[in-house]
């Protein structure tokens, strides 16, 4: 249900704001912590010897109750109430004390180490699966995405290729999408992780900028302030992510995926192959086609009983009505220019955004009369929502600020409280997608941006790290309301405010 504050496990009041109770030695809110063990009465076994107990039954359980962290009400209980079990009435109508004695206390059954470990692992997995389901539900409910989940037949595919892409000879024109990466100046302690942004939108604040890169290796010379490296224009900053899409007669009825930087290519002939993200190194490209609607997600459940040829799907997408043939195949080629893995520039998310954007253009899901030009704000938000879906499908992980490369320039991205009519209303305090505010004019003068461009040098230190375990650790500490991390989050928010003031 919707988080509405209270006394247990939450730092929000009943109006959705922050509790006013503070640590006298600290300026930040100290969230209430709860413990499952402190709210649990374990089963109590008694001997069959009637001398031990005055109860009518020689074998009973004490009550097991979970106290609500919010209102203190019992969620689960047996017929006996643990609060009132200290006294009872005998058959003669006299009151007898049934408080467990020392011998009974020694019979208290606690779970073993192995059982506790198994329970901890199970509940952890359940918690993260619940968070994943919450994100997927919001993505599914986002306007423009519902049909992809509901489609159950190839014939129901509503998308059609733009006629400009149809080959006049062997190959059609190439549709090229170039996308920058994002660099965050402050992320307020990973506050953009999907669940954190949806549970605590007030603290979800990020400053990031979209950047083109002029990549140079050691020993290739220095970069001048104008982006060149002396006598050559070859090292001027460019968007480092490229996606090329075209229809071709070379392999009709198939989808060919190629990653230039990964040196990998695969030819797909059936729909089930698209949903097999772990079969090769091109799972992200497959997830992009699924999230863009070219291979709708609803077809995945059909593949369990029927392996559909891709030619059946591609023939439906031909713009000529009544044409059941499939004379063309689809080729998608991506290239990430000289960015090492684990660069922390959100390459995977922006690559997904680039694939989704070029696919939406190719199937006329954008409002532009031509295939070129920038995306409108509603289209950017739709691409961002689908990129989040692609992350969950492809397993790349990340947060909502990672798709910041879809928006130009320097920007403040912050969480938004869910309102009536939002898919998240009644489910979470905040919306899945944040609000992007471009910093310009008084908030970020042109002189500031020019100075940043001339002075920033990005250095790769040779180390790479999988961000997935880090995000899981941050989420765990947030769910447990770890005090040190909570204060650090608020200190990071103060640093972000200082940056916004310094920009002016």
pLDDT tens-digit map of 231-285: 455 578 899 999 999 999 989 999 999 999 999 999 999 999 999 998 999 999 9
pLDDT tens-digit map of 52-96: 444 333 333 333 333 333 333 333 333 334 444 444 444 444 445
pLDDT of amino acid 256: 97
CA distance 26 to 30: 9
pLDDT tens-digit map of 385-440: 898 888 878 766 667 788 888 898 899 999 999 999 888 888 889 988 899 999 98
CA distance 104 to 124: 33
Beta bridge partners of residue 29, listed in sequence order: 22
Check whether 138 has a pLDDT greater than 90. no
For 206-242, give one letter per residue: b (16+ CB within 10 A) or e: bbbbbbebbbeeeeeeebeeeeebeeeeebeeebbbb
Cβ atoms of 83 and 99 closer than 8 Å = no
pTM for the model: 0.74
In percent, how much of the chain has pLDDT > 90? 30
CA distance 86 to 99: 5
């Amino acid at each position: 249900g919707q988080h509405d504050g209270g006394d247990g496990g939450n730092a929000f009041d009943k109006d959705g704001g922050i509790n006013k109770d503070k640590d006298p030695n600290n300026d930040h809110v100290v969230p209430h912590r709860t413990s499952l063990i402190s709210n649990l009465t374990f089963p109590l076994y008694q001997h069959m010897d009637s001398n031990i107990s005055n109860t009518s039954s020689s074998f009973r359980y004490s009550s097991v109750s979970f106290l609500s962290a919010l209102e203190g009400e019992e969620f689960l209980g047996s017929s006996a109430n643990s609060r009132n079990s200290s006294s009872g009435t005998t058959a003669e109508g006299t009151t007898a004390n049934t408080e467990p004695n020392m011998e009974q206390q020694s019979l208290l059954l606690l779970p073993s180490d192995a059982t506790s470990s198994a329970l901890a692992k199970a509940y952890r997995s359940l918690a993260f699966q619940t968070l994943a389901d919450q994100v997927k539900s919001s993505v599914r409910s986002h306007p423009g995405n519902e049909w992809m989940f509901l489609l159950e037949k190839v014939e129901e595919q509503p998308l059609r290729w733009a006629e400009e892409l149809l080959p006049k000879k062997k190959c059609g024109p190439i549709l090229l999408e170039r996308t920058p990466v994002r660099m965050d100046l402050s992320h307020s302690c990973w506050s953009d992780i999907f669940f954190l942004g949806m549970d605590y939108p007030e603290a979800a604040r990020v400053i990031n900028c979209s950047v083109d890169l002029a990549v140079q290796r050691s020993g290739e010379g220095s970069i001048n302030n104008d982006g060149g490296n002396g006598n050559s224009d070859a090292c001027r900053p460019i968007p480092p992510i490229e996606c090329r899409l075209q229809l071709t007669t070379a392999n009709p009825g198939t989808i060919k995926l190629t990653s230039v930087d990964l040196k990998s290519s695969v030819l797909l002939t059936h729909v089930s192959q698209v949903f097999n993200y772990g079969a090769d190194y091109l799972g992200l490209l497959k997830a992009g086609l699924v999230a863009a609607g070219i291979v709708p997600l609803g077809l995945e459940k059909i593949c369990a009983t029927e392996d559909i040829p891709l030619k059946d799907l591609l023939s439906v997408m031909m713009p000529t009505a009544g044409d059941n043939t499939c004379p063309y195949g689809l080729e998608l080629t991506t290239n990430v220019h000289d960015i090492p893995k684990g660069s922390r520039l959100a390459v995977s998310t922006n690559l997904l955004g680039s694939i989704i954007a070029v696919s939406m253009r190719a199937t006329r899901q954008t409002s532009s009369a031509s295939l070129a030009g920038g995306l409108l704000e509603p289209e950017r938000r739709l691409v961002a929502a689908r990129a989040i879906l692609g992350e969950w499908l492809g397993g790349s992980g990340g947060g909502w600020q990672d798709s910041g490369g879809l928006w130009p320039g320097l920007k403040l991205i912050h969480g938004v409280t869910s309102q009536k009519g939002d898919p998240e209303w009644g489910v979470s305090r905040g919306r899945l997608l944040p609000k992007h505010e471009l910093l310009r004019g008084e908030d970020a003068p042109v002189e500031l941006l020019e100075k940043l461009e001339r002075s920033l040098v990005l250095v790769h230190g040779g180390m790479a790290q999988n961000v997935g375990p880090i995000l899981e650790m941050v989420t765990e500490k947030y769910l447990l309301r770890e005090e040190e991390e909570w204060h650090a989050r608020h200190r990071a928010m103060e640093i972000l405010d200082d940056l916004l003031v310094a920009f002016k």
